[in-house]
């Protein structure tokens, strides 16, 4: 991926650049809002990571200018402001996702990959398939190895989200946000229990395990671990 990072904290940015490079991505880094806006307008990126508080021109202003200019590149907002209102403001301005500092690098990576997922997994698709696991979006039915699997409505949504992000890691927070529309950190392993229950339905008694736990990060639906 070609990523634009607009972040004024030089050290934090250098870690991000290093980490994203090692994950195989190409990063351009801008130190302030004006430079960042200029780079965003003159080059093509797959995704942009924009800090909210920037010198010269704040992050939201950069996003507003880009969106007004017709730029549709996915944007992830980084912020030290964590209030519900702040997140809503950020997303309303034109950001696609919002991550509050301090965040885990794995969380950032998972969200960037989710933002740039392949166009083949777009919502208009009627069927999603991974190996012998097929879900029919219209009928909301799930088949594995030609056997119909019965899921609760919310389990189905969980599986659909994982299917749309197949081969990418999704974090617990992402699941909580997208499947349940909840924006808090549960103090229990509630998501893990949900996953193991789903796993028992779609993986148990079938040959190849598809739902994998990624240590310290989250989960991945994939043919290979």
Partner 1 sequence: MKAPKLNLLQTTAVKLAIKFTLIYGLILGIVISALYWVNNAHIDNKIKHQLEKSIVHFQNSFASGGRSELIKQLQIYQQADEKHIAFLQSETDVKLQGNLHAWPEDIDINLDGKVSAAWVNDEVIPFEIHEDDAYLPIAGIRLSDNSKLLLAHNIEQSRSLLEFTEFLIESMGIAILFSIFITIILGRKIINRMEIISKTAADIMAGDISQRVPLSDKNDEFDNLSMRLNNMLDRIQQLIKGVREVTDNVAHDLRSPLTRMRNQMEITLLETRTPEEYQQVLHNNIEEIGTLVTTFNSLLSIAQTEAGNHRTQWDQVNLKQLAIDLMELYTPLTESKNQTLEVINGNDSYVYGSRDLLAQSFGNLLENAIKYTPHGGNIKLHIKTSDNQVEVIVSDTGPGIPDKEKKHVLEKFVRLESSRHTSGNGLGLSLVAAVAGLHKAKLILKNNNPGLQVILQFNRDNS
Tokens for 29, please give them: 């880094």
Q: Which stretch binds partner 1 (CB under 8 A): 127-135, 141-149, 152-160, 161-169?
A: 152-160
- Which lies closer to partner 1 via its Cβ, residue 87 or residue 212? 87
Site size for partner 1 (CB under 8 A): 26
Q: List the one residue from 186, 207, 208, 209 that touches partner 1 (CB under 8 A).
A: 186
Could you say which residues in the range 164-183 bind partner 1, by CB under 8 A? 176, 180-183
Give the position of tokens 């302030």.
32
**150 binds partner 1, rule: CB under 8 A:** no
Q: How many helices (H) and strands (E) does the chain have?
A: 8, 12
**18 binds partner 1, rule: CB under 8 A:** no
Q: List the one residue from 24, 68, 70, 102 that touches partner 1 (CB under 8 A).
A: 102
List the Cα angle 129/159/203 in 5-degree steps.
75
Q: What is the DSSP string of 45-104?
A: -SEEEEESS-SSS-HHHHHHHHHHTT----EEEEES---HHHHHHHHHHT-SEEEESS--
3-state secondary structure of 135: strand
User: Measured from the CB of residue 11, what is the shortest distance to partner 1 in angstroms?
Assistant: 16
Residues that bind partner 1 (CB under 8 A): 82-85, 88, 102, 104, 152-154, 176, 180-190, 193-194, 197, 216
């Amino acid at each position: 991926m070609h990523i634009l990072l607009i972040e004024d904290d030089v050290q934090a940015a250098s870690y991000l650049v290093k980490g994203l490079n090692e994950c195989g991505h190409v990063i351009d880094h801008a130190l302030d809002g004006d430079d960042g806006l200029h780079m965003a307008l003159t080059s093509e990126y797959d995704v942009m990571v924009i800090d909210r508080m920037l010198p010269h021109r704040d992050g939201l202003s950069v996003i507003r200018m880009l969106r007004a200019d017709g730029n549709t590149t996915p944007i992830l907002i980084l912020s030290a402001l964590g209030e519900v209102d702040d997140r809503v403001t950020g997303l309303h301005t034109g950001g696609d996702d919002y991550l509050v500092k301090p965040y885990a690098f794995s969380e950032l990576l998972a969200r960037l990959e989710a933002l740039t997922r392949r166009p083949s997994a777009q919502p208009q698709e009627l069927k999603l398939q991974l190996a012998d696991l097929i879900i029919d979006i219209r009928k909301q039915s799930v088949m594995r190895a030609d056997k119909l699997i019965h899921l609760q409505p919310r389990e189905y949504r969980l599986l659909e989200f994982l299917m749309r992000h197949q081969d990418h890691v999704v974090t617990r927070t992402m699941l909580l946000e997208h499947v349940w529309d909840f924006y808090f950190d549960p103090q229990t392993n509630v998501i893990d229990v949900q996953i193991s229950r789903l796993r028992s339905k779609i993986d148990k008694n079938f040959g190849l395990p598809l739902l994998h736990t990624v240590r310290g990060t989250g989960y991945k639906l994939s043919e290979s671990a």
